Amino acid sequence: MTDPDQAPDPTERGAQIAAVPRISIQAFCETADMAALVSDVGTERRMARAHMKVHMGGAAAAAEAYRAAPTPNLIIIESSAERAMLLGSLESLAESCDAGTKVIIVGHLNDIVLYRDLMARGVSDYLVMPVGVLDLVRAISQLYTHPSAAPLGRVVAVTGCKGGCGASTVAHNMAWSISRELDVATVIVDLDLAFGTAGLNFNQDPPQSIADAVFAPDRLDANLVDRLLSKCTDRLSLLAAPATLDQPYDLPETAFDGVLDILRGSVPCIVLDVPHQWTAWSRRALAAADEVVLVAAPDLANLRNAKNLVDLLRTARVHDTAPRLVMNGIGLMKRPEIAVADFAKAVELSPMATIPFDAKLFGTAANNGQMIGEVEAGGKVAGLFNDLAHRVSGRVEARRAKRSLLSPLVARLGRKRLAT
Ligand SMILES: Nc1ncnc2c1ncn2[C@@H]1O[C@H](COP(=O)(O)OP(=O)(O)OP(=O)(O)O)[C@@H](O)[C@H]1O
Ligand SMILES: [Mg+2]
């Protein structure tokens, strides 16, 4: 049973909920409040793959509906009935339930005897009203997430508000710091298939790339993804971009779903280097991430685009934290800049980090295929990336994730690639 009073802070709760797989769900509500809640649940980002249908009429309507029709993967029933009546209507529903169908009851009675009776009859969960959107999403998610895969990897998507503003540099340095400072196994996924720089920045030239996963959906599994990863450091691996132009990359919206699902189920932290473009798949990558980091330089075009991105992401991710803002390349001599405070005020976000322009430091790192922390260990800028890593990864979740390196892929990664 869910006790709303004991529930932790919504952002913390949300961060640990795994995406729900492609299941069919039908909800039978008694009240308009519950119907509204279920509709909200259906549009939550973690439910993007699931298919949800809402009906009224509670348990009786459910029993009636499935007398002739097949049952979905999951049935959610709201019931305010007292114990005997609820158990009775469940029994008639059970007669027409297909094998494998799960049932969640949302009730109005906080009654442990009823809870036990329901569990004994095979009900998967019993939630007591009032229930929040994330409470229900979590209850659904937990039914379909294998215990050995929990908690799933945290996805941090990094993108630039304008081309060339340093998004990839921030993504790579932040990921490097997450793996090193927080000791969390991390994978960088370079989604800039044509021009990605992750390989260059880590001085890697892997023979295979993410394209081998995206263009071979039939062969895609944890083993293939494991083979495509190239090791940068003990705890950091790279899923590089092909960075070749022998084919165009007009990818469908769901092109990266398969590979990201595999990574999410097996690596504690996944940093996406999302190129500055607006495609169905790039929008999806940002909307579905656990954290979004927007990198901006202090000029007008960055400001306009940052504002548009923030507005869009706030709407698309109502149950998540706002995107994080990183101001990069601040203080370039003789360049008129928008003051960081003004920029922050305009987009209504205070920057999580403000990184100075430093041509020598960043130029040296880029030319040598090194991270800032390697070029100038202990320096101020390296410290900024460490700080960024702590903030963006939600240290508590990251620590927990690290302890549960249980799934087979991570076990292999741990031995072959990520173990110290
Ligand atoms: N704070 C900084 N000071 C100086 N140079 C920087 C800074 N940040 C990034 N750079 C340099 O700016 C260049 C562009 O950086 P990067 O490739 O990370 O940008 P991007 O936003 O990912 O670009 P693209 O739109 O091509 O993906 C690189 O040469 C990088 O070394
Ligand atoms: Mg880039």
Q: Residues near ligand 1 with C-beta < 6 Å?
A: 160, 163-169, 192, 197, 275-276, 328-329, 355, 357-359, 362, 366
Tell me, what's the pLDDT at 147? 61
Average pLDDT for 385-408: 56
Which DSSP state fits 290? S
Query: How many angstroms separate the CA atoms of 15 and 365, rounded?
Result: 33
**Domain-by-domain residue ranges, the chain?**
8-145, 150-418
Q: Measured in angstroms, how far is the CA atom of residue 350 from the centroid of ligand 1?
A: 21
Tell me, what's the pLDDT at 160? 98
Q: Measured in angstroms, how far is the CA atom of residue 86 from the centroid of ligand 1?
A: 61
127 pairs with which residues across the strands? 106
Query: How many angstroms separate the CA atoms of 230 and 237, rounded?
Result: 5
Structure tokens, 198: 């992750």
Q: Measured in angstroms, how far is the CA atom of residue 315 from the centroid of ligand 1?
A: 29
Number of other CB atoms surrounding residue 306 within 10 Å = 26
Q: How far is CA 322 from the centre of its chain?
A: 14
Q: Is the pLDDT of residue 399 over 50?
A: no
According to CATH, the topology of domain 8-145 is Rossmann fold (3.40.50)
CB 47, CB 14: distance < 8 Å:
no
% residues pLDDT > 90 (the chain): 69
Query: How many angstroms separate the CA atoms of 76 and 294, rounded?
Result: 37
- The CA radius of gyration of the chain, in Å to the nearest whole number, is 24
Digit-coded pLDDT (tens) for 341-391 = 999 999 999 999 999 999 999 999 999 999 999 999 999 999 999 999 999
Tell me, what's the pLDDT at 415? 34
Q: Whose CA is nearest to atom 16 of ligand 1?
A: 166
Ligand 1, from 362, 364, 380, 381: best to mutate by most atoms within 8 Å of Cβ? 362
Tell me, what's the pLDDT at 15? 58
Element (H, E) at 282: helix 280-288
Average pLDDT for 59-86: 89
Q: Whose CA is nearest to atom 22 of ligand 1?
A: 168
Pairing of strands 291-296, 324-330: parallel
Digit-coded pLDDT (tens) for 17-56 = 888 877 789 999 999 999 999 999 999 999 987 889 999 9
Give the SS3 label for residue 269.
strand
- DSSP line for 28-43: EESSHHHHHHHHHHHH
pTM for the complete prediction? 0.76
Output phi, psi for 348, to 5 deg.
55, 40
Q: Whose CA is nearest to atom 9 of ligand 1?
A: 166
- Tell me the residues surrounding ligand 2 (ion) with CB < 5 Å: 168
**CATH dotted code for 150-418:** 3.40.50.300
Average pLDDT for 283-290: 96
Report the chain's terminal Cα–Cα distance, integer Å.
Answer: 41
HSE, CB side, 13 Å, CA atoms: give it for residue 328: 29
For the CA of 165, the nearest atom of ligand 1: 21
Q: Measured in angstroms, how far is the CA atom of residue 10 from the centroid of ligand 1?
A: 34
CATH fold match for the domains 8-145 and 150-418: yes
